[in-house]
Structure 1
Amino acid sequence: MGEVQEGGVSVVSSSNREEVADVREGQDVTLKCRFNNLALLETGGEIYWMRQRNGEKDNVAIRETPLDRSYTVDLEASEGRYDLTISHATYERDNGMFECRFKEAGTGSDLHTTTVNLTVLIPPGSPRLTPEVPTATEGLPIDLVCSSRGGSPDPQIIWYRSGTDQKLNSVLKPGGGRDFPTTSVLTINPGKDDDEAQYRCVVWNRALTDNEKMEATVSLSVNYYPRITIGPENPLRVELDHPATLTCTADAKPAVSNVRWTRGGRFIGTLNTLMKERVSLDDAGRYVCQADNGLGRLRDAEVTLDVLYGPRVAVPVSRDVDEGEDVVVSCNVTANPTPIKIEWLKEGDDTFHHVGINILRLTRVTATDQGNYICRAVNILNPTGGEPSDRVGNATVAVRVRHQPGTTYITPAKPVAVQGEQAILTCGANPPGWPMPTYRWWRQNSDETITLGANYTIPRASLANEGTYFCQPSNRLGKGTPASVRVQVHQPPRILEDLPKTATYRQGKTDLSLTCRAQGKPQPSIRWLKDGEEINPADGLFNILVEPSSVGQNAAHIVQSTLQFRGVHRISDNQLLPTDRGLYQCLFWNDVREVSSSQLIRVEHSPITVHKSNKVAFDIDEDAQLECRMLAYPEPQFQWSLGPNFIEPDGVHFATNYTALGEDVYASILTVRGVTEADYGSYTCKGINSRGDHKTIITLQEKGRPEHPTGLHIVSQGTNFIKLAWEDGFSGGFADTTFHVETETASGEIMSHDCLTNNPCILRQLPQQTAFKLRVKATNMKGESDFSEPLEGMTLVDTETIPEPEKVYWQRSNNMLSFKVRSTDLMLQGQVEVQPGEGQDWEVIEGPVPISTDTLHHGELDLGDQDPYDVRIRFCSVFVHTSCGKYLVAEKVESLPPVPSQSLSMQYMIVIIVACIVVVAVVALIFVCCCCRRRNNKLKNKTANMEVSHRVVTQQAPPPPYYTVGLDNKGLTGSVDTALDDPSKTPIYTSQQYHGYPHNPHPNSTHANHNGVSYLDNSYSNSNNGGSVNSQDSLWQVKGQGGVDPTHQAPPPTVPHHASPPPGQPYHQYDPMVHGGYGITGYDDYAHYPPTGYQDDYHRNNYTAATDPYAAVHKPRKRTDHLDGDVSGMPDPYLEHYDPTGPEVAPGPDHNKPQISFDESLESGYSTPNSRNRRIIREIIV
């Protein structure tokens, strides 16, 4: 097989088999013919190229001779090659099959054949779709044809549906040449979803690249049968007598012109919406909607209308039985949906309640069983689009037991009739009696029947109708008891002497009075009002006289009252004032109604100023308005002046406006346009009428700070709020003046409340029953005013927090009431009420009962001579008597129950607790001392062993240091410091100071604390030190505080020249290690070890003494120059070469004593210290 590239065309050939070759029209191509037998041409045969196209065969080359000018041959017998080259290939000439043949001479047999199918590539023509506008019917198949011609080779045609890349199954019919179309048929079984769907036909052959495609798109129109949507919900639930709307929509193509509603086969309507304004039970059922769009198929759908209604209950109207018989009543209930509950009730008897049954059964009935029995059913309606709701239905059956009437009563029990109005008395019996009794009425002192029937009606009551009335029921089985009631006839007040409607008097009139007289029963009461407000004689302006009432016919009372314009606050006690102008009323009332008579009094007087502020403020160039208000009668005239100069309104710079405000108040407004500096000053407003004149000064000034408010007072208060009001001071000329209230408690806590422009202002979120000092100030753009005068106020008590009384006893023997109260921060007092008799109203005993916390019972009250039925008490606030808790009724006892001995006071309790703690501490200390003494004896033995071993130490180079297994030299790796730094590992004793040895009171002193000894909580037993399992050496692990060298503890230490002891702090500290407090000796034996140099760094602040004897251990970081002892607590032999001389201060004589660390040196079990020359084996068993 070989391959060549000619003119961009690949030619693949193989001997003795068919090959395929492509060439674009107009390009060159070489068809290869190869034979392996090189001697083939010498046999005398003939080799040639033959072309076969459209069924016709023709030779195109024989040996070296081409038969067409566009053909050339390449015959190379020595190489076995006979190639045909075609120049400028054309479809009409070259598209076909070419054969290279070698025929044997004499026989004509084919000794070699190479066949090449040559395709001249031509792009396909544009696809064509038929039908161009396809229209299909749902369910009927339709063919879409896509064709293309003019291409070579025949193209591929593939169908797609728009929106997907999935190939559709289609039938391809090749054209067989470019002169014949290639077609692809797509068969579709259309449905509704295929309507308006687009189908894409894609055409491609080898003349195109992979990215080149020819496409055509067609949109399919599908006529589909109706799709019916019925609703709005199925089933549609509608409550009885409510509107219902059934909807039917048809989706169809072509569209449906109208629908057809039927029910039970009966035609109803053709509209898409079927409406019923009020559904009935007959409307319930199935409704069918039909639709047809002419495609030959009728579609329909149905909806169920479910009519919901509440329970309909049916029972017999009545049942008459004799006493002793049984009663059975059935309750029939119909409802949609089914009731969730059926129950029986009885009118007037809350104890009768039978649930879950629809049959009422009463056995052996008596007269008490008579009554109306109610069958009640409940269901829940859940209509479409609505909320679930309960519906209740009931029916009543009257169970009537034959019996005679019982005890008779008359209602109302205390009838009061009003003169001239109707009054009704009703007679009844219990039991009422059956058959229905007749009622007889008569009056006292007369046996004459005045009426028969349950009701006696007085059409128009008069005083003659007063008296006692009797009633008695009876039936054929007997009579009831007679009953009586006394009827009182009341007379509403009637004015006998009216006041004149209006009256005018002059100021200064003396001894003016108004008189009213009225009659009524019961006796009327009298009130005098001025402008709707009740007149109080205590104000010193009026005096009210009420003459004793006289009794007229039938106890009707006549009352006369006189209002005198007399009082200490009047001129000469009896002169009329301008402020007496107003509407006066005398008002009489009793239990029936109230009546009144009124008079408008006007007082002639000279003008009086009534405006509040005599200041106004405006800036330069602003328009100022000065308002002058005066009360006057007759009507006044106004004059304005600035200084000595009268102001004549010119309409340019000055203008005035006059207004009558009503109730004899008049206002004049002076407008100053474009205020200048000369306009500032005092303006005089003068009012003049026939009774005189009056002047007032109004000052015009620049805008400034507001003046402080006045008249601060409390409007209302609650448990957590106070509502304040005040009189505004001059605002300084600004309308948006704001206010701030400051509250101060008794403890001095001050809070500020922003009221903005609100007046009154509510202060919220205040603690209950708290006293405050209240002040208010005003603020505007120019600044703020001073505070107002302070006001004392207090919040109320939340009654829910007031405790109930406890242990309330009423001693009948001495008539004493005692009680206790729980501990509370509230200031309370007791309020006691007594009940004179059983069922009677409670009465308050005057005067609060003080509560004392120092007495045995907190409170006692002697009831004196009272002998009530019951006594109760509650606690109230001492500040607001109406803020009270709940009552508790006292327990009646002859004497107080025995009270346990009085508990000790808090002081004694504290002393006892402290004494117990001290005793326990002393016992614990004694125990610890005993343990310490026992351990000290053992430690002395250890020290003796250490001294013996120390004597054999020679001054030679020590071997390498030995570390205990697993410890890895904790003294160097920080295990000890970690223990000190870890706050979770609390030392047993930290910063311990001993009595008689003062400690450093200055935490910032530059001197180290040389006395601190800490007991670490780290346990090394049974761990890294090789200790025995049962050893307890870790109980005594002693460390110098903060890692400070104990050699610095020897008194007195050498102090650098720049250091000074703190005041009161001697250098001599108690050292338990030196003084044998722990039995450790032999410090002098280590004097031959080179001491470490004295470090000034030890006097840094972080090494200062702890001032608090109970504080946590001060834990400075580890220093390498301080570690002159190894893990076992002995001196490091490697430090023998250390040169003690240097720039640092020489240490004191005791600095050569090594640090003894018991947490690592006193290993339990078998321990081998650093020096290999000494090995101490010790075992401590406790």
Structure 2
Amino acid sequence: MRVLLLLLFVFTQDCYCGDSTTLYISRGTTTHLKCPIDTKNCGELHSVKWFKGLERIGVASGDGSFTQVEGSEKERLRIEFKTGKSVLLEIKSVRIEDEDLYSCEITYLEPTETCDTSDEYKINLSVVVSPSIVSIMHKDGTIIRNGSTIGPLKEGHRLETVCLVHGARPKPIVGWYRNGRKLTHQIPSSDENSGLHDVQSNLSLTLSRHELGSILECRISTTPNESILSMQIYIDLEVRPTKIHLSGVKSHVVEGSKVLLQCQVEGARPAANISWYNSSKLIDELNELTTISTNAHPKSDGTYETVSQMIFTATRFENNALIRCEADNVVMRNEMDKPLHDTIPLEVLYPPLVVVKPDNFTVNETGEFLLFCEYDANPVSLQSVRWLQNHTVLNLNQSRFDGGNPELTALLVRNATREDSGTYVCELSNQVGTGMSERGIVVDVQYKPSVLIRFEPPSPIIENDRVNVTLHCDVVDGNPRKLLKVQWMINGDVLTELPECNDDAFEDGNDDDSSEDYETKIQKNQNYFCFIDPTKILLQNVNREFLGNYSCRGYNAAGWGQKSEQKLLNVYYEPGNASLTVSPPIPLKRKSMTLRCSVDDKGNPPSTRFHWLRGEDPVKDIVSSEWIIDPVSLHSRNNFSCYAINDGGNGTMATINVEVQVAPTFISTLPQYSGFLYSEPKIMLTCRIECVPKCSIYWFLDGEEISNLNERYFINETSIAADTSTGDFESVLSELHFNLSAWSNKRLNILKDSANYTCSSSNNSVGLGVRSVTSFGVEYPPENVTVSQQEVQVVEGRTPPRVLCSASAHPAPKYQWKRWDTNEVFVRNSPVLTFPNGLNRTDKGIYSCIVENKHGNNVANITMNILYAPNCTITRKEEDGEDTLICVADGNPEDYQYIWEFSSENETDINKKLDYKTRNKKSYLILGDVPQKRVYICRSNNTVGTGSQCEISVEGHLLWWNKLWSLAPYIIVSLVVICLIAVIILICIIICLCRRRRKRSSKSMEKSLVDNKPNDPGAEPCENYENLPFHGLQNPPSKSLKPSDFDEELDGVVYADLDDENYGPINYKQASMYQHIKFKRNNQK
């Protein structure tokens, strides 16, 4: 009895696992609070209770069979039990009022010494509500969008903004940051309503350069697990420039060089505007002589560095100039500040600027002339002086030159020659460079002319144009170049001299530059032709008579010059009359003919080209005097014309008419074969023959002419005119019609009416007749289709004999073999059906030979029968109440015979004859007693042979009365065990009844029942009393037992039974267990 009581003694122990943890859960979601259990170190679990603050809200049994939630929110609570791991408290649709400290209390049946009993497991549940509104506003309440830019604002502006967070939980922390650093210029405030917090932070900031390129950020943080919300704004701040610097020239520049001045302005936003000044004059950016480019580059602090470059070519006019750069922006203009500026002086060194005098000078040969050279330069001292004549430097070392050096820049030239004529310029050099006079002095030295004759229009001249030709006597060299007289010559003889005046009129000094007017000269010379231009003479209506070599000679103030070279005036004129011939006189079609064109007077230049016409159409690709046409065609029957041509014009045309004849020739012949269906109602043969002069056409049947009196045929003959579209001359079309009404059965006979028909023509004057033969065939569809075998039997895997298909048809038919049931084509274009690879059982069926030509088709069939040995299958089923094996064979033919056998490992009589029956081509074997496992084998055969065997495995079995005796020992043992179990159960029931009666008599223990919560030891006994559904638990005393109370019977500690009405508080159990363990240790000592 003592042992039984010890086995039923239950110890309970609370296990508290660590300090409380905080869990952040979003409102409206479902969360699971986990209470971990440690069955490995603490033993079997007795129960788990969940508390919200001090209120119990749920309890679960140790095995998870019972769970219960309590309180006003129990509809949203559920306890989920995970054996051996944890107990979960599920809270659905989390609300703000769910926020509290949750704890779980764990009780073990018999905790071990290694069990951690330090504290209960606590979870601080914090409900998270995301803000409903997060915004940034101006002081006046205007919303500022996240990521937007405010401005532009000026430096010194007072910025006041508010960051508002509405409807958040827990209370968020709101702060302003600039580039990641928190600002101190902010005032936070908050308000709470219905558990939700409204927080705002006011920012008041005076804008300075610190805000350049920075980001103002409002950060909102709620829980450690939640990411920080961020709202950002960008400040577009405008500030004035802080620095200006002008650079580019250190000492001086040289005229003509590119000068680059750079003005650099820093610290401005927006970018600074830069202006350039030459002294006090603004330099226009559109000035073509100056290039100004300005670029603004953003800096890391948000300001701009503006760089303006002015490029210009230095000239003497910029010498001693002051170049100034000014910079400002909108901030300075609004504040009325003066622009920043920087100045740089310029010194320009430039080469001499040269001027020569006089502008021009005229002198006779052997005279002298003086030229002056003046200049302006920086520096003034010269390094060299040069005089150039027509861009060529003069060698002043000759004795006839004076001056031309740095001390005397003027040049004196003595004993002038014609080579001294030209333009003189002066070139001076200093240390900077060289200067040359823009204008030169034109020196004119006079001498006698040399001339050249010229025709206008130029030679050659076409006579038919009847043009006028002007002869010019052009001066090639001479000074002055104006001619006063000209002599004109042809073929070396003087033609005339112009002008026709008295010699007194051409005395020295009496030319067009004389002070006498025109009327005075006419009156003086009494001759109008004295004042015409002598350098031109006009030839009117030039023809072949003006052909010759012309020359001229000129006279100026220096005298008569040399005669010019002779020049030919060439006059072109057209060829004479043409003549045309053709060979042969009568051309034939498809032969060749030659046209020849000739002319006696070939003109000037001599004619080598001819123009041809066919009818009225020009022939562009023939230009020779002979035209060969090969072959002659219908287009050759026409009028042909020709004439000679040269650069002087076209000669007179000649024309001839050409007639062409044609020997008999087929245009359309009879085909080699003409086939017609025997039942065709209309049959006709045609041929067409081209012949000029006309010819006749005749028809022949197998060499005999078909007469017009033959009633079986009639002939139609038609004359056809020439056709230019096809090139055919006049032709004859003949049609041979079959009068089938006069034929037997009014249709063709397939055996008799095949023959040769001939179309033949007569001769004409230019050729022999022609003939064409066709083989006439009577056609009909396939008939009399036969096969060599109508049924073929073959053993599977073997090759059947060839099957030949034959038929009668015209034209010759095509053969193909198809399988009737699948329409699969086996053989194409062959009458023979073969299977070289043999056949299998799936190839059996009907095969069709299909014979067809263009008039129809016909079919003949054969049957293919495939023979093969049978295969079998065995099935097991009940037949007439008997366990039966059925063997079914599949083969061709179906004259099956069956043989049954069996095999077994432990049986010796395996050759025992089996009793089986055969009906409906199936074999039936009735199974009786099968003492051991057997494999039954069935074999089948037919006339082809024996097929493969089939088998089935059958487990050993006996009839039921035979089986019962073998199980007798097992039945006896089972009955004995059942009796023992019944006795044990009866004893347990008696013991339980006795103990229950003893517990009910212990009324003194009922008064001390208390149920103190683990975290509230001062609570009243009845206030915290709880009932759990664990039957057999005894009511505990109100205080812990002393060591002396643990007697040998242990009656006072038996309280953890199956009665849910008797259950002691957890604290009492822990204290009693501790006293019991301490008592045992003291006794051991």
Higher-Rg structure is 2
Bigger RCO (CA 8 Å, 6+ sep): 2
Shorter-chain TM range is under 0.3
Q: Which of the two has greater strand per residue? A: 2
Give the alignment's TM-score, normalised by structure 2: 0.28
